[in-house]
A and B are shown apart, each in its own frame.
Chain A
Amino acid sequence: MSIKENEEFRPKIVAFCCNWCSYAGADLAGSSRLGYPADVKIIRVPCSCRVNPMFILRAFEKGADGVIICGCHPGDCHYSTGNYYARRRMTLLFSLLDYVGVEKGRTRVEWVSAAEGVKFSATMNEFVEKIRSLGKNVRLEDLRCRN
């Protein structure tokens, strides 16, 4: 999809949310009618530690403009330790992506509890804003996926 200059840029954003906290936080944002742009699409995973870096790179390859991973707050993981592993994995992955020249703001991790509908909505609004300012992901996308 070519972005015409005058057309508003609508990013593709993938949000991986853990089932126990962040997905519930997103539901709470919904039931509290706390809006955020439709650009965000959520994929439910059992835990942030289920998010394989390959999923993130895959999203970028297929044309995602931003990827955000949400999990329980450290210490609150439903599986006790999952988010601690996720934190290390994502820290290293994000650092490497930055190192190969991917704009830093395209990836993000946020800890959102089931009670934090407000935070979920605010985080998504903020993230979408950031991705809009960064524009289309052209560094990681596979050109074959454009239509």
Chain B
Amino acid sequence: MYKIAKANLPALFRLIAENQELYLPVNTADQVNFAAWTEDAQVDLDKLKTVKSPKDVFFPQSENLYSCVKDGKKISIEPEALKEQNFVVFGMKACDIRGVEVLDKVFLAEPVDSFYKARRDHGTIVAMACHEPEESCFCKVFGIDCADPAADVAAWMIGDELFWKPITEKGEALTKLAESLLENADEAKVEAEKTAIRSIVEQLPYSDLSLEGWNGDVLMDKFNSPVWEELYKPCLACGTCTFVCPTCQCYDIKDYDTGHGIQRYRCWDSCMYSDFTMMAHGNNRTSQMQRFRQRFMHKLVYFPANNGGMYSCVGCGRCVEKCPASLNIVKVVKAFQKQGGSNS
């Protein structure tokens, strides 16, 4: 266990950034999101949740896959280079780390997504415990301990000090790089902080949310439930929930005409959009109810059914805070509980 004074963090960031890219929560125009560190960046480690999850560090909202360059009637293809430089993500929370684990299930399974894998291989994650969890958090429901996040390095911000514990080899390497700024520390303060966090988590209003009855066995019951008809109505069909979510992994592949060729890129897509999975014959989901249902069935039924019971929700609560119509996954779960009939 090491520690570093909060006042020395800029020096730490500078040191890391000398060698590699460093992503961390930065305030831009009043909103905190993960972004590359620069000397002028307004780093904000106090904000519990960034607006977007940090998933785009590994799975960018838009990324090029390859370019076609036209020369007369000849077309040549230039593949996009894979990530080759190491980088550090500083300040990810336990829920977001679980989010990356969900993405791993999708992108690292065969066939492996080489773009994603390259980023995972080269990224070192410094996780941070959640000092004061908020009422929208429900990570506990998914067995996540936000007091003791596990990544390459775990960190705790306690008072004016940041405590630092390397966990993996990558974590050790980063610790070595930063050793000039780190000093040894004992774990007592950290243990006390963990206890404090856990006791807050116990009191959180959503912590006792029950997911009983949400698994692959009940697929058709849930799918055919009349509850969806009631639930979806306020939904505006925007992609806010999808784009702030740490686990949503759907993307679209499109071509951009550059005038001298095309760039084939992929970008996040949302199952809430009317043109999601649009095909020549149209869409396979024609109503917003179907699209709405898809998102929650995927998170709570299809994904666990295919991934050994792992839910693709991590309880970060971003959708709870950001949905323009105040809908969210918790309300969905509760509505089924209340309705009782189909399964609970």
Question: A residues engaging B (CB < 8 A)?
Answer: 62-63, 144-145, 147
B259 partner residues in chain A, CB cutoff 8 A: 62-63, 145, 147
- With the chains together, A79 CA to B258 CA distance in Å? 36
B263 partner residues in chain A, CB cutoff 8 A: 144
Residues 233-270 of chain B: 1 if any A CB is under 8 Å from the residue's CB, otherwise 0? 00000000000000000000000101110010000000
Indicate if the CB atoms of B260 and A147 lie closer than 8 Å: yes
The 10 sampled A-B contact pairs (Cβ below 8 Å) are A62-B259, A63-B259, A144-B256, A144-B258, A144-B263, A145-B258, A145-B259, A147-B258, A147-B259, A147-B260
Question: Which residue of chain A lies nearest to B69 when distances are taken between CB atoms in the complex?
Answer: A147
CB distance from A114 to the nearest CB of B (A): 33
CB distance from B67 to the nearest CB of A (A): 9
Number of A-B contacts (CB under 8 A): 10
CB distance from A144 to the nearest CB of B (A): 5
B260 partner residues in chain A, CB cutoff 8 A: 147
Question: Which residue of chain B lies nearest to A143 when distances are taken between CB atoms in the complex?
Answer: B258
Q: Secondary structure at chain A's binding surface: helix, strand, loop or mixed? A: loop
A63 partner residues in chain B, CB cutoff 8 A: 259
Task: Please report which residues of chain B, range 254-310, place their CB below 8 angstroms from some CB of chain A when the two chains form the complex.
Answer: 256, 258-260, 263
- With the chains together, A114 CA to B259 CA distance in Å? 33
- With the chains together, A62 CA to B256 CA distance in Å? 11
A145 partner residues in chain B, CB cutoff 8 A: 258-259
CB distance from A131 to the nearest CB of B (A): 19
- With the chains together, A63 CA to B258 CA distance in Å? 10
Which 5 pairs from chain A and chain B are nearest by CB?
A: A147-B260, A145-B258, A144-B258, A145-B259, A144-B263
A62 partner residues in chain B, CB cutoff 8 A: 259
Question: Which residue of chain B lies nearest to A144 when distances are taken between CB atoms in the complex?
Answer: B258
B258 partner residues in chain A, CB cutoff 8 A: 144-145, 147
Question: 4 new A-B pairs (CB below 8 Å) besides A144-B258, A144-B263, A147-B260?
Answer: A145-B258, A145-B259, A147-B258, A147-B259
Question: Which residue of chain A lies nearest to B265 when distances are taken between CB atoms in the complex?
Answer: A144
A147 partner residues in chain B, CB cutoff 8 A: 258-260
Most buried by A among B258, B260, B263: B258
- With the chains together, A147 CA to B258 CA distance in Å? 9
Task: Please report which residues of chain B, range 201-257, place their CB below 8 angstroms from some CB of chain A when the two chains form the complex.
Answer: 256
CB distance from A10 to the nearest CB of B (A): 16
A144 partner residues in chain B, CB cutoff 8 A: 256, 258, 263
- With the chains together, A147 CA to B257 CA distance in Å? 12
Most buried by B among A63, A144, A145, A147: A144
Most buried by A among B256, B259, B260, B263: B259
CB distance from B183 to the nearest CB of A (A): 45
Question: Which residue of chain A lies nearest to B259 when distances are taken between CB atoms in the complex?
Answer: A145
- With the chains together, A144 CA to B258 CA distance in Å? 6
B256 partner residues in chain A, CB cutoff 8 A: 144
Question: Which residue of chain B lies nearest to A63 when distances are taken between CB atoms in the complex?
Answer: B259
- With the chains together, A18 CA to B327 CA distance in Å? 50
- With the chains together, A67 CA to B11 CA distance in Å? 48
- With the chains together, A76 CA to B259 CA distance in Å? 37
CB distance from B283 to the nearest CB of A (A): 25
CB distance from A101 to the nearest CB of B (A): 15
- With the chains together, A145 CA to B259 CA distance in Å? 6
- With the chains together, A145 CA to B262 CA distance in Å? 9
- With the chains together, A145 CA to B260 CA distance in Å? 8
Question: Which residue of chain B lies nearest to A147 when distances are taken between CB atoms in the complex?
Answer: B260
- With the chains together, A88 CA to B259 CA distance in Å? 31
CB distance from A100 to the nearest CB of B (A): 15
Question: Which residue of chain B lies nearest to A146 when distances are taken between CB atoms in the complex?
Answer: B258
CB distance from B267 to the nearest CB of A (A): 13
- With the chains together, A147 CA to B260 CA distance in Å? 7
- With the chains together, A145 CA to B256 CA distance in Å? 9
CB distance from B180 to the nearest CB of A (A): 39
CB distance from B258 to the nearest CB of A (A): 5
CB distance from B68 to the nearest CB of A (A): 12
- With the chains together, A87 CA to B191 CA distance in Å? 70
- With the chains together, A147 CA to B256 CA distance in Å? 14
- With the chains together, A144 CA to B256 CA distance in Å? 8
- With the chains together, A145 CA to B263 CA distance in Å? 10
Question: Which residue of chain A lies nearest to B261 when distances are taken between CB atoms in the complex?
Answer: A147
CB distance from B65 to the nearest CB of A (A): 13
- With the chains together, A144 CA to B260 CA distance in Å? 10
CB distance from B253 to the nearest CB of A (A): 16
CB distance from B197 to the nearest CB of A (A): 44
- With the chains together, A62 CA to B258 CA distance in Å? 8
